[in-house]
Amino acid sequence: MGREILLLLRILFPVVAGCLLFGVARRGNRKVQTMYVTTVLAAEMIPVLATVFMEKTTVECFCLTPTVRLVLCNDGLSGLFGVLAVSVWLLVGIYSFRYLKETPRPVMFYGFYLIALGVLQGIGLAGNLVTFYLFYEWMTLMTVPFVFYNRTKESIRAARKYLFYSVAGASFALAGIFLMAGNTEGLHFAGGALLENANRSEVLLAAVLLIVGFGTKAGMFPMHGWLPTAHPVAPAPASAVLSGVITKAGVLGIIRSLYYVIGMDYLAGTYVQTVFITLALITVFMGSMLAYKEKILKKRLAYSTVSQVSYVLFGLALFTPAGFAAALLHVVFHSVIKNGLFLFAGTVIHQTGEERVEGLRGMGKDLPVTFWCFTFASLALVGIPPMSGFVSKWYLAKGAMDASVGVFSYVGPAVLLVSALLTAGYLLSITADGFFRGKNFVGATPEPREGHVSMLVPCVIFAAAALLLGVFASPLVTFVTKLGTSLL
């Protein structure tokens, strides 16, 4: 019974705490609210870590039909996603206290912020595809307020676009789930073991629908349009978690449906794999090109996310244990790196009011710590050894060349290499201009200064993690390799 309670606590604790914040903490001062949110985020670490190290446990919540049940279950993938989500939420939450200090509605942000964390834990702990889908839809509703937080016309328009894309993607996914429901009982994560008597054409069509549906949240072409619209108008902490974690919920949906329900052996060599790899590589190249041309800082980072998350999707599309392991590595590393990059953008905007790339020239001399954090994160995203991004991209390229995917074994690594060069162009040029060019600053503050220590510390931690996770990558590589091998 104790193990079952811990699973439920991972979800219910932040959700209840977020609801209480709306009703109770609204009357308190900012310091009380800050202490409350920090305590909740830190305390959430306890049930998350406890369930990571305990033996596999299943909790059946209730039945929708005799064959469709809402089930929670902890496994290695739920542990990895849960630890990543709560760690990011804690650091970004600390950063946000100063960033949102002068805004009029921080309680609204923090309430939904806590609830969204609980929902993300539910996504990770989902024990079948129906349970996953319910939490996935709830996550969309809880994150829409992040986008329209500033309540400008642009932010409301962006929130509508985010909601439209999310609902459209979820509809594709739901259609895929309905097709799968007729071919496997209960939609359990059994890795294809329940598909012996399934209609193969229906299962393959369902796989395509699931890829497009969950790929929408992951920013995969052609359903990527919400990312470059939502990020520029959302507060930097919201942009960070949307890019670093929320997009990974779409990745997790693809993993659970294709690997844990259908099975990689069932899909390898089919037209589904061809479609999946093609869409992923188009997105990788297209996102990098659009980021290279973009002049607005947060929008550039948004297009970068479009490209980099599809590195993950490319690894998954190989349908091999090596590709799966490489994809999970990039899930973790990209989340750490991209959170650091968006917090950099937030610090620059908060301290200077500057939102355009050309306005950052010479600013590295005034904000050296901030720019060095950006530089370390940028080197990691490009894939310079020994940074973390190099490790995941090495395994992705190696996994592609070892996979039996025909011409894609060579086209894939080539596209990844071109994308890395473009990434260097649109990120490291900011560092070069910031440190070595004369000032071209047109922001609201003529003499910018470093942000408050509560903003700097999370940036430093993310930058340090971008390096240290690469230098000491062996434990994580071993862990994700075992996860991939277990799927066989």
- pLDDT 10s digits, 7-64: 999 999 999 999 998 876 555 577 888 899 999 999 999 999 998 888 888 888 777 7
Determine, yes or no, domain membership for 116.
no
Determine, yes or no, domain membership for 166.
no
pLDDT of residue 440: 56
Determine, yes or no, domain membership for 280.
no
Predicted confidence band of residue 231 (pLDDT cuts 50, 70, 90)? confident
- pLDDT 10s digits, 135-163: 999 999 999 999 988 888 999 999 999 99
Determine, yes or no, domain membership for 448.
yes
| Alpha-carbon separation of residue 326 from 129, 223, 254, 441 (angstroms) | 23, 24, 15, 40
What is the rounded average pLDDT of the residues 372-393? 95
Asked whether residue 241 carries a pLDDT value surpassing 90, the answer given is: yes
Determine, yes or no, domain membership for 239.
no
Quote the tokens at residue 261.
């329900």
pLDDT of residue 256: 94
Predicted confidence band of residue 444 (pLDDT cuts 50, 70, 90)? very low
Determine, yes or no, domain membership for 250.
no
Asked whether residue 385 carries a pLDDT value surpassing 70, the answer given is: yes
Determine, yes or no, domain membership for 357.
yes
Q: Tell me if 481 sits within 8 A of 325, measured CB to CB.
A: yes
Lowest-confidence region among 11-25, 130-144, 164-178, 196-210: 11-25
Of 250, 234, 245, 471, the C-alpha closest to 355 is: 234
CA dihedral over 119, 123, 128, 133, signed as positive or negative: positive
Strand stretches in 4-131, DSSP E: 58-63, 69-73
Quote the tokens at residue 275.
């479609």
What is the rounded average pLDDT of the residues 426-440? 83
Q: Which residues contact 5 (CB under 8 A, 6 or more apart)?
A: none
Q: Give me the domain span that covers residue 387.
A: 329-488
What is the rounded average pLDDT of the residues 200-222? 95
Task: Match 């429901």 to its residue by tokens.
Answer: 181
Determine, yes or no, domain membership for 88.
no
The length of the chain is 488
Asked whether residue 196 carries a pLDDT value surpassing 80, the answer given is: no
* pTM of the predicted model over 0.85: yes
* Per-residue buried b or exposed e for 202-229, using 16+ beta carbons within 10 Å of the residue's own CB: ebbbbbbbbbbbbbbbbbbbebbbbbbb
